[in-house]
Each structure stands twice: as structure tokens, then as C-alpha cells.
Amino acid sequence: AKKLPSELAPAWVPDDAATHCMICNKTNFTLVNRKHHCRRCGKIVCNNCSTKRLLLPSQATDPQRVCDPCFAEASSKRISDVRADSSGDDESDDNNLAQEQEPAQFFS
């Protein structure tokens, strides 16, 4: 049985809909300051606001550019999922967390 992707690719904001970064609202896009789409939320962001990559298995086999807020949200969600799945035994929580974080495939 094939597992369905848990996260589908977002609808991208059209390129002409943004003249500034949708995260910091400071960077004005030019030929030098390029627009980047977050592969997780679809917003148009600057390079400074999209410094991380995240493995999104429903979209590609290699890590994709995501905005920093999406990276932070995905990181905290996966860490809380690991904590929720742990047994609650003595120090095994710390060991489970360290073991589970690596397969989460976060890249910077």
C-alpha cells in the first residue's frame, strides 16, 4: 500500500504579486535581490529570509528551499511529535529525541 503524501505542494504566490519580501517586508526585489518561493508555504521571500532547506518528500527527493518561519514550524512540530511518541521513561526521552531528530532531514 502506497502512503499518500502528508503535505502537498502549496500554490505559489505569482511572481508579479510581490515587490518586497513577504516575511521581512524590507527587501525590495531587483535583478540583484532575487525572489525565492518557499516550497512549503508558497510565499515570495528574500534570500535572508529563506536560509534553510527541508526535505519535503511529497515534492522532491532532495532538500528544498523554505522560508525561515516554515523551517522553524516544521522543526518544532517534529520535535513535539517525537516527544509525544516517547514512552516517558527516565532519560530515554533525551535519547529518543536525539535519535529522531537526525532522520527528520533538516538542512541549512
Going from the first residue of the chain to its last (108 residues), give the mean pLDDT of each consecutive group of 10, the final group possibly shorter. Answer: 58 93 95 94 96 92 95 83 54 34 47
Query: Residue 103 has what pLDDT?
Result: 39
Model-level pTM greater than 0.85? no
Amino acid at 16: D
Neighbours of 35 (CB within 10 A): 19
Query: Residue 6 has what pLDDT?
Result: 53
DSSP secondary structure letters along 33-69 = S--EE-TTT--EE-GGG--EEE--TTT-SS-EEE-HH
8 A C-beta contact, residue 29 and residue 7: no
8 A C-beta contact, residue 71 and residue 39: no
Query: Residue 28 has what pLDDT?
Result: 95
